[in-house]
């Protein structure tokens, strides 16, 4: 079985390569914004639009002639920015995303180029890219497959990464064959049907004091000054540190769950809807349930397991996992422990919910 997978590497380009990357970021951004403006103008004046083929032809015959500096960068990357614009409009009309916005030179920058013949390859601790040549990387992962494309990105703090899209043969990794139910929370990140509780690391809350101090320092600096840019980079590095810690924890958790279990049952949470609660939005964002479940989904699949999502309307916390009686008073979130009036079993709220999620998931699988 074949699959397409991404491999991301930290890159350390030299000064000349960094200049080329920055120029390519700017050219791709210019092309994207130029044709987004053209599409909007055509629609306002003539109720017409530009197809990808028309934009590509105009880029080659007109835009490059009027702006000769566009010829200094990878031409495939410029065409890919048009594809991204075309896909953004397509997603908008299919109601899969918002209306396309103009790209900014601030924040994260990236461009994508496709492999043609042998213009992209990996060789030890280097990746060979069009125009840039051999770029030094930290090679932490090997693969056997056909490279399809490469994406060069720069974070807000100035770190460079190269992501390779690879088509490779896929063999499921082993798992221990267990069955488990998970109940997500804020006090504890998740509770399992085996009564294991993983505490919420609250990464953002732990670094919030330093983030506030760096934000105030950044706001005091004069706009356009070098000190303001240095303060911006310090703030960006701290935000990336929070993100890196959270990602590291999530990868470890999801790998453990995927390698130990054949069936993992979770609740299909409406995270976006829950984020509308202004009292809990920051805590829910810090817990990052959506990203945790996204990682868990592909890792369970990689290990040959099955992820079952129980409907969010299922009252997992209110039902006794032993006799099945529903106790409405448990709907109150302040009730952490309760005793079933029918069978007399004492329940820990989250453990009981995890057991019910597992039972419901197995019922769904059986049916």
Average pLDDT over residues 71-82: 96
Which H or E run contains 105? none
pTM: 0.88
Q: In the structure, what pLDDT confidence band is assigned to residue 153 with cuts at 50, 70 and 90? A: very high
What are the residue numbers of the active site? 183, 267, 350
pLDDT of residue 129 exceeding 80: yes
For 117-173, the DSSP string reads: TTSSEEETTEEEETTTEEEEB-------EEEEEEEEEE-TTS-EEEEEEEEEE--PP
Residue 256 CA to its chain's centroid (Å):
20
What angle do helix axes 226-260 and 289-302 make, rounded to 10 degrees?
50
Give the pLDDT of residue 43: 95
Give the pLDDT of residue 321: 87
Q: In the structure, what pLDDT confidence band is assigned to residue 239 with cuts at 50, 70 and 90? A: very high
pLDDT of residue 260 exceeding 80: yes
Tokens of 172: 């499921």
Average pLDDT over residues 177-206: 92
Give the pLDDT of residue 332: 84
Nearest CA among 141, 83, 160, 72 for reference residue 114: 83
C-alpha distances in Å from residue 85, one per residue of 56, 81, 92, 214: 12, 6, 11, 35
Give the pLDDT of residue 192: 93
Reduced to 3 states, what is the DSSP secondary structure of residue 265?
Answer: strand
Average pLDDT over residues 183-208: 92
For 282-331, the DSSP string reads: HHHHHHTHHHHHHHHHHHHHHTT-EEEEEPTTS-TTTB-TTT--B-GGGG
Give the pLDDT of residue 333: 81
pLDDT of residue 1 exceeding 80: no
pLDDT tens for each residue of 138-149: 998 899 999 999
Q: In the structure, what pLDDT confidence band is assigned to residue 158 with cuts at 50, 70 and 90? A: very high
Beta strands in the chain (DSSP E): 2-11, 109-114, 121-123, 126-129, 133-136, 145-154, 160-169, 178-184, 188-192, 197-199, 261-267, 306-310, 337-339, 346-348
Nearest CA among 357, 259, 367, 243 for reference residue 309: 357
Which H or E run contains 232? helix 226-260
Residue 235, C-beta contacts closer than 8 angstroms, at least 6 positions apart: 211, 214, 215, 217, 218
pLDDT of residue 176 exceeding 90: yes
Burial 324-338 (b: 16+ CB within 10 A, else e): eeebeebeeeeeeeb
pLDDT tens for each residue of 292-329: 999 999 999 999 999 999 998 898 888 998 888 888 88
């Amino acid at each position: 079985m074949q699959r397409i997978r991404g491999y991301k590497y930290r890159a350390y380009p030299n000064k000349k390569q960094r200049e080329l990357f920055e120029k390519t970021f700017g050219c791709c951004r210019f092309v994207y914004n130029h044709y987004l403006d053209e599409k909007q103008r055509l629609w306002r004046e003539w109720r017409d639009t530009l197809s990808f083929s028309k934009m590509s032809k105009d880029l080659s015959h007109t835009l490059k002639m009027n702006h000769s500096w566009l010829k200094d960068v990878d031409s495939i990357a410029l065409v890919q920015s048009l594809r991204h614009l075309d896909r953004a409009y397509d997603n908008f009309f299919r109601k899969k995303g918002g209306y396309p916005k103009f790209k900014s030179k601030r924040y994260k920058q990236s461009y994508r180029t496709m492999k043609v013949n042998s213009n992209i390859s990996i060789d030890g601790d280097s990746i060979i890219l069009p125009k840039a040549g051999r770029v030094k990387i930290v090679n932490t992962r090997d693969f056997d497959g056909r490279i399809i494309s490469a994406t060069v990105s720069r974070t807000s703090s100035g770190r460079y990464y190269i992501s390779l899209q690879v088509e490779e043969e896929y063999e499921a990794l082993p798992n221990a064959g267990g069955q488990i139910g998970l109940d997500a929370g804020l006090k504890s990140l998740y509770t399992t049907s085996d009564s294991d509780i993983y505490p919420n690391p609250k990464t953002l809350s732990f670094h919030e004091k330093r983030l506030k101090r760096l934000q105030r320092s950044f706001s005091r600096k004069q706009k356009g000054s070098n000190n303001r840019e240095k303060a911006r980079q310090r703030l960006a590095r701290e935000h990336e540190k929070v993100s890196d810690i959270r990602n590291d924890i999530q990868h470890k958790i999801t790998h453990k769950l995927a390698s130990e279990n054949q069936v993992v049952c979770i609740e299909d949470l409406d995270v976006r809807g829950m984020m509308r609660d202004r009292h809990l939005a920051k805590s829910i964002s810090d817990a990052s349930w959506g990203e945790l479940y996204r990682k868990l989904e592909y890792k369970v699949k990689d290990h040959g397991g099955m992820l079952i999502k129980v409907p969010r309307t299922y009252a997992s916390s209110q039902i006794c996992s032993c006799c099945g009686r529903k106790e409405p008073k448990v709907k109150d979130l302040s009730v952490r422990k309760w005793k079933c009036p029918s069978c007399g079993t004492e329940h820990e709220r989250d453990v009981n919910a995890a057991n019910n999620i597992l039972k419901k998931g197995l019922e769904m699988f059986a049916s």
